[in-house]
Amino acid sequence: MFNDILELPERPRLFSPETMAYIGDSIYEVFIRSYLIEQGLRKGNSLHQQAVKYVNAGAQAELLQQLESYLTEEEEAIVRRGRNSNSGSVPKNADVVDYRYSTAFEALLGYLYLEGKKVRLEEVLTEIKGIIDEIE
C-alpha cells in the first residue's frame, strides 16, 4: 500500500501484538470501505452502517475462525500472539473472547503489511472477500 513511500521498520515480528493490530485495524477499515464502494454503495450513511457490520469484534472474530485453515504456521503463531495479548481494556459493546480474536485478526493483517508481504496480504484479503461474499 504505502511500501514505496514509507520505509517499513526492521524486524516487525518483534513488535507487540497491539502494535501490529493498530496498523491492521487501519488496513482492514480501508479494505472494507473499498469493498463496499465496489459493491455499489455510494451514500455516506449507508456506507457507514454497512461498514459497522464488518468492522466490529464479533464479525472479525468470525472471519478469523473461517480463515484459520488457510493460514500458514507462521501466521498462526502471530494469531496466537494477538489472541493472547493483554490489551488492558475491552470495549463495552464487545465480548471478551470476540475482542481477543478480533485483535488477533488485526494483528495478522498488520504483521503481513509490516513484513512487506504484500502478495500474501492481498491473498488473505481476497479470501476474506470471498467469505464475506458467501455470507451476503
Q: What is the CATH number of the domain that holds 96?
A: 1.10.1520.10
Is residue 7 in some structural domain? no
41 pLDDT tier (thresholds 50, 70, 90): confident
pTM: 0.90
Does some domain include residue 128? yes
**Is residue 98 assigned to a domain?**
yes
Calculate mean pLDDT across residues 124-136: 93
Counting the structural domains of the chain, the total is: 1
The verdict on residue 116 lying in a domain is yes
Q: Is 25 annotated as catalytic?
A: yes
Contact between 6 and 108 (Cβ < 8 Å): no
Helix runs in the chain, H state only: 17-38, 44-54, 57-67, 73-84, 96-114, 118-135
Give the pLDDT confidence score for residue 42 in this predicted structure. Answer: 80
Q: Return mean pLDDT, the chain.
A: 89
Q: Is residue 10 in a domain?
A: no
Grid cell digits, residue 131:
467469505
6 within some domain: no
- Tens-place pLDDT, residues 70-81: 999 999 999 999
Are the C-beta atoms of residues 26 and 113 closer than 8 Å to each other? no
Q: With 70 as the cut, is the pLDDT of residue 6 above it?
A: no
Would residue 11 count as lying in a domain? Answer: no
Mean pLDDT for the stretch of residues 84-93: 74
Q: Where are the beta strands (DSSP E) in 21-131?
A: none
pLDDT given for residue 129 in this prediction: 96
By the 8 A CB rule, do 50 and 91 touch?
Answer: no
For residue 90, what pLDDT is reported?
66
CA separation for the pair 63, 53 (Å, rounded): 12
Taking a C-beta distance cutoff of 8 angstroms, is the pair 11, 72 a contact?
no
Residue numbers of the domain that contains 93: 16-135
Residue 61 to residue 98: CA distance in whole angstroms: 5
Classify the C-alpha dihedral 51-21-120-78 as positive or negative. Answer: negative
Is 60 part of a structural domain of the chain? Answer: yes
Closest CA to 83 of 69, 65, 70, 66: 65
Choosing from 4, 25, 98, 133, the catalytic residue is 25
